[in-house]
Amino acid sequence: MDDKLIIACPTCDAKNRAPAARLGEGGKCGKCGSPLFQGKPLDLTTARFTRHANETDLPLVVDFWAAWCGPCKMMAPHFEAAAGALEPRVRLAKVDTDAERDLGARYRIQSIPTLILFHKGREVARQSGALTGDQLRRWVTTQLEKI
């Protein structure tokens, strides 16, 4: 990673420049003052997606899910816990495929839950099906090593 990274604020989506070596110390958004890392997944809409997936240096793991999906509901608490454990190395986010049909179509989501790891706008890895907390953290960690 470069010395300085561009990180989108999880609250206002503003781009922030942060030293890579100091990500673990947190940091606040220069625009709204919110913490850059909040230990929970972001809820992304189509409008917010580009900023977080394409315009930042931080890898992004997106859970494509739907409220009616049983396996999605089972995985949700594990995904929530993983966000706290994996930040600041990676940001976790959720996209409701019923509410954001264009994103589901753009990434050809055919089953849910589906996890996609993005880095600088590029899809790096994909995993379909519910995972336990340990499986989720292992999958993300393994995929981050490939970046």
Token readout for 60 is 């992004």
Q: Is 9 a catalytic residue?
A: no
- Catalytic residue (choose from 9, 12, 32, 69): 69
Q: State the Cα–Cα distance between residues 124 and 143, nearest whole angstrom.
A: 8
Domains of the chain: 37-145 (3.40.30.10)
**Full-model pTM:** 0.94
- Catalytic residue (choose from 9, 29, 32, 72): 72
Cβ neighbours around 147 below 10 Å, total:
13
Task: Please tell me the predicted confidence (pLDDT) of residue 23.
Answer: 86
Task: Please tell me the predicted confidence (pLDDT) of residue 21.
Answer: 87
- The torsion angles phi and psi of 105, rounded to 5 degrees, stand at -70, -45
Mean pLDDT by 10 residues, the chain (147 residues): 84 94 89 96 95 95 97 97 94 97 96 97 96 96 93
Q: State the Cα–Cα distance between residues 10 and 56, nearest whole angstrom.
A: 12
Q: Is 72 a catalytic residue?
A: yes
